[in-house]
Amino acid sequence: MNPSILGNIGLVLAVFFSVAGLVAVVFSWFLRDARYVRVARRSALLAFLGTFVAFGALEWALLSDDFSIAYTARNHTSASPTWVKFATLWAALEGSILLWALLQTLYTWLAGRRMRDYWTSPVALGTLFVIQLFFLVNVLFVINPFTPVPNPPADGPGPNPLLQNHWMMAVHPILMYLGFVGLSVPFAYAIAAMVTRRYQTWVGETKWWLIFAWGFLTAAIFAGGWWSYEVLGWGGYWAWDPVENASFIPWLLATAFVHTAMVQERRGLFRSWNFALVTLAFAGTVFGTFLTRSGVIESVHAFAGGPVGPIFLGFLLVILAVGFSLLGRVSSEVRDVGSVNVWSREGLLLFGALVFVVMAFVVILGTLFPLLVEATSGAKVSVGAPFFNQLFVPLGYAMLVLMALGPLLPWRRADPETLRVIAWMAVSLVLGTAVGLAVGWTLWVSLTVGLFLFNLVALGWLVASPLARKSRALGGVRAGMGSLAWTRRRYGGYLVHFAVALTALAIAFSQSYRLDVQKTLQIGEAWQVAGRTITVHALRAVEDPHRYSVIADVEISGMGLRQPRLNYYPTSRTPFASPSVAYTLGKDYYLVLQAFDQENAQWVTLRLVVTPLVLWLWVAAVLMALGTAMILWPARRTARAGAAAGEVGA
């Protein structure tokens, strides 16, 4: 047995059981026999195990430095540290699709376990089987990582050095794929709902999966931003790179859908639109994969081209065609009824969703615009960060206003009681903006401060008032028992909203007040800059098995010794600058070693980037993850624990 044979056996089994599952759900659908769904569920588990065997085989080859298969021979080196060897599995095209397939089969199995409706589950499961088959067939036949190499090399070139430079590379892709792949479950339920013409209940059934996937997408985007900040050495966290945009588009559409799903659940409205949103969100994940694997763009994320690009484009078109042709029928059948008061919870939820959809539209158009212009007129244009930053300011403000007001208002009607709160919010908005302007911040930053306070007052009232009301009504005793889980979920939502407001604040300050400067210093020389003294103490070299590093020992007054470095990898002609970041609650001091004296080690050239409030982005990310976890935590356990403990709350 060797990794090549084992991996192929795993893949063949996975394909076999996926087909078996697909056949079973087809039988179940046409014979109207629920027993076949059970067969399909077992096949889903076996398909997952098969893919897991293939995954294990590739890890085995990587960890044992076996260069007899194509993937390791091309992307691996025995000099890598163990964690890099492990993460090398998703550092290149073939392995990353294998990881995708693994997570897809996992989701299919887990989602299948939860399907109880024998009417819709054959279609939902069938859709998931088709999706996973697409990935598995690709890994097995088109980009098989286990292809034996005739003359195995003694060692390989190793993964892209940029991906070895930080441990986040082991985490960020998995989070991203968990988010991307997770959106396939709501999509599958939507297809099932459209086929079986059960247009209402699917959003409730799939909400948990939707928020689960949304949480991972959010975490992945923040993790990617932090990785970019820590590794790329330009002092920023978001560059509006086409691939970043490609991950942002499904996030925006999923966020819109999270909100419109509530409108459908509660009021039975927006049913056709939700089918469109979930189809577009899932198609967006495939679009991102297409961009990174097709060679259409070049970036940190791009993998080598090959046949995969057109295949993914075809898959994307199939998804859109299936989703929208079914939707055509839905929209002629679905006649939503209900008047919507604009000044109500659902009114604002719909407007919020509108803002997110417009944001997605701007990102899609901005990302594709250079390609469109070049294809039609041959002219070249650049659509970069300054463009997106300017357009996202007004859209972001609209979002901040709506997200504060939405949760305050009751369903269906405007509430006179909340008008007083809104008055206080308006006062805090004006005050915050005025104080900001008085301090000397720009209008945009001051407005963001005002809107942050606007949100804070709203959330403060939401958190404080039900507690106060409840304790008044029930003497504060049995207040929560029945609705404990419900309260927790609501507070989870508030926490996410707070974190979004915090993110907006951090973005406004860090984008507006960034200081970027470069200077050459002699060893021992002190540099007065940005209120600190920066002294270079020494320049030294360190040799690791997999790289060579030049390190500058630089002291920032009051912040200790920092060690920006340049890492040299054998596969790359240019060195990779590893910045050193001194995080503080106020400003981050970000040092990059730009160049150094190679002959006498007498001087170093440092780039210093001072950016305010960046730390709060990472705090906001943690809060968002916590809030999402609060929403997702299963309710039954809490309820059961409460019941078992009797009236412990007393």
Binding mask 396-415 for another protein (x = CB under 8 A): --------------------
Contact region for another protein (CB under 8 A) — 263-271, 311-319, 470-478, 552-560?
263-271
Residue 633 identity (one-letter amino acid): W
Is residue 82 within the footprint of another protein (CB under 8 A)? no
Neighbouring C-beta atoms of residue 213, cutoff 10 Å: 28
Q: For another protein, which is the closer residue by CB, 31 or 304?
A: 304
Site for another protein in 561-600 (CB under 8 A): 566, 568-570, 572-575, 577, 594-595, 597-599
Is residue 636 within the footprint of another protein (CB under 8 A)? yes
The CA dihedral of 431, 437, 438, 441, to the nearest 10 degrees, is 130
Q: For another protein, which is the closer residue by CB, 305 or 394?
A: 394
Q: For another protein, which is the closer residue by CB, 355 or 617?
A: 355
Nearest by Cα to 38 from 55, 56, 25:
25
Residue among 548, 555, 563, 582 that touches another protein (CB under 8 A): 548
Residue among 2, 603, 626, 642 that touches another protein (CB under 8 A): 603
**# chain residues binding another protein, by CB under 8 A:** 94
CA-to-CA distance for 404 and 149, rounded, in angstroms?
59
Please state the closest distance from residue 485 (CB atom) to another protein, in A.
Answer: 6
Contact 424, 279 (CB under 8 A): no
Token pair 């609501």 is found at 490
CA-to-CA distance for 514 and 588, rounded, in angstroms?
10
Q: For another protein, which is the closer residue by CB, 485 or 506?
A: 485
SS3 of residue 510 by DSSP? helix
CA-to-CA distance for 406 and 198, rounded, in angstroms?
28
Please state the closest distance from residue 245 (CB atom) to another protein, in A.
Answer: 9
Contact 252, 235 (CB under 8 A): no
Q: Output phi, psi for 585, to 5 deg.
A: -65, -30
CA-to-CA distance for 281 and 257, rounded, in angstroms?
8
Residue among 390, 442, 533, 557 that touches another protein (CB under 8 A): 390
Contact region for another protein (CB under 8 A) — 68-76, 229-237, 247-255, 435-443?
229-237
Is residue 528 within the footprint of another protein (CB under 8 A)? no
Sign of the C-alpha dihedral, residues 29, 30, 34, 38? negative
CA-to-CA distance for 253 and 287, rounded, in angstroms?
13
Site for another protein in 89-148 (CB under 8 A): 114, 116
SS3 of residue 193 by DSSP? helix
Q: For another protein, which is the closer residue by CB, 85 or 607?
A: 607
Contact region for another protein (CB under 8 A) — 162-170, 381-389, 454-462, 583-591?
381-389
Please state the closest distance from residue 629 (CB atom) to another protein, in A.
Answer: 12
Q: For another protein, which is the closer residue by CB, 2 or 520?
A: 520
Where does residue 524 rank: exposed (0-12), middle (13-18), buried (19+ CB within 10 A)? Answer: exposed
Q: Which residues contact 197 (CB under 8 A, 6 or more apart)?
A: 333
Neighbouring C-beta atoms of residue 555, cutoff 10 Å: 16
What would you measure as the largest C-alpha separation in the chain, in angstroms?
A: 83
Please state the closest distance from residue 354 (CB atom) to another protein, in A.
Answer: 6
Nearest by Cα to 619 from 498, 526, 510:
498
Site for another protein in 265-324 (CB under 8 A): 265-270, 273, 297-299
Contact region for another protein (CB under 8 A) — 176-184, 281-289, 482-490, 579-587?
482-490
Please state the closest distance from residue 25 (CB atom) to another protein, in A.
Answer: 18
Residue among 208, 324, 424, 513 that touches another protein (CB under 8 A): 208
Q: For another protein, which is the closer residue by CB, 417 or 599?
A: 599
Residue 433 identity (one-letter amino acid): T
Is residue 486 within the footprint of another protein (CB under 8 A)? yes
Site for another protein in 7-36 (CB under 8 A): none
Residue among 304, 371, 385, 477 that touches another protein (CB under 8 A): 385
Q: Residue-wise over 370-389: b if at least 16 C-beta within 10 A, else e?
A: beeeeeeeeeeeebeeeebe
Site for another protein in 330-369 (CB under 8 A): 335-340, 350-351, 354, 357-358, 361-362, 365-366, 369
CA-to-CA distance for 551 and 78, rounded, in angstroms?
24
Nearest by Cα to 298 from 234, 371, 249, 365:
371
Q: For another protein, which is the closer residue by CB, 27 or 392?
A: 392
Neighbouring C-beta atoms of residue 427, cutoff 10 Å: 13
Residue among 88, 104, 184, 206 that touches another protein (CB under 8 A): 206
Nearest by Cα to 259 from 506, 507, 500:
500
Q: For another protein, which is the closer residue by CB, 232 or 425?
A: 232
Is residue 485 within the footprint of another protein (CB under 8 A)? yes
Nearest by Cα to 184 from 87, 47, 314, 323:
323
Contact 100, 177 (CB under 8 A): yes
Please state the closest distance from residue 515 (CB atom) to another protein, in A.
Answer: 5
Please state the closest distance from residue 438 (CB atom) to another protein, in A.
Answer: 25
Please state the closest distance from residue 241 (CB atom) to another protein, in A.
Answer: 3
Q: For another protein, which is the closer residue by CB, 443 or 517?
A: 517
Residue among 154, 375, 379, 650 that touches another protein (CB under 8 A): 379
Please state the closest distance from residue 172 (CB atom) to another protein, in A.
Answer: 17
Is residue 605 within the footprint of another protein (CB under 8 A)? yes
